[in-house]
Amino acid sequence: MSAQPAKPAKPTGLDAISGDLNKLAQHFKTDKWGIHRYTQHYQRHLGHLKNESFNLLEIGIGGYNRPGQGGASLRMWKQFFPKARIFGMDIQDKSFVDEDRITTFIGDQSDPSSLNAVVDKIGELDVIIDDGSHRSPHVLTTFATLFPRLKDGGIYIVEDTQSSYWPEWQGSEDLDAAHTSMGMLKRLVDGLNYEEFVTENYQPTYTDLNVVGVHFYHNLVIIEKGRNAEGSNKRSALKQRYAKS
């Protein structure tokens, strides 16, 4: 009688929860689950990268200027993505977080030259997460600088967008304010549909041409990058308008 093959051992410890971002967030004590409810959305939008080799940059490492504090989410990403290289950028020195597959940089997200210097050291970026100061001017500068440097098919994420509504955090009570982070992010939705605009001689922006999806959640926005050129039926639907041209 032949021996039965041994059953594979059940994963234990961190390996047992390595596929569940909610549980990993709780283990590493990152506020991406608990204070917020972000990891359930990350699981959906980043799950396809689970076993891929890629580069992830998170701006804002946490812990503020308290010695030895921060890095919880970087450790979470490392555990969830076993083949990824994880990078963090912070205005404070967080080099104590560095370990195999985690590298940190000192950088200022309000300064395009500082942002570009960090990315020059990393190379190609597949995922960018802005969990930095949450001040609207900084969010806008970071997006304008780094979104063009994100690879096609990449994902750009802005966390803690609630600050966009807080004047005390350089936001605005005006829901239509153009200078806030939410004002910029909401404009991306119109840009998705730039081919439907009837404004004569409209020139599409870089984001019009390169944003293919925008997902809004409570305090979290996830943006997909790709070639946005699906075409339009406006000339056949608006025959009277375009008969003049």
Pair of tokens at residue 209: 């041409």
Q: Report H helices in the chain.
A: 21-28, 39-46, 72-80, 112-122, 136-146, 181-192, 206-210, 234-237, 239-243
- Cβ–Cβ under 8 Å, residues 148 and 205: no
Report the amino acid identity of residue 79. Answer: Q
Which one, of 154, 11, 18, 157, lies nearest residue 79 by Cα? 18
Distances (CA, A) of 42 to 58, 127, 176: 13, 11, 28
Q: How many CB atoms lie within 10 A of CB 95?
A: 12
Out of 36, 45, 134, 138, which one is annotated catalytic? 134
Question: 241 CB contacts (<8 Å, ≥6 apart)?
Answer: 198
Pair of tokens at residue 65: 């200027």
Q: How far apart are CA 77 and CA 61, in angstroms?
A: 12
The DSSP 8-state label assigned to residue 147 in this structure reads: G
* Catalytic residue check, 134: yes
Which one, of 143, 181, 178, 188, lies nearest residue 160 by Cα? 181
Q: What residues act catalytically?
A: 134
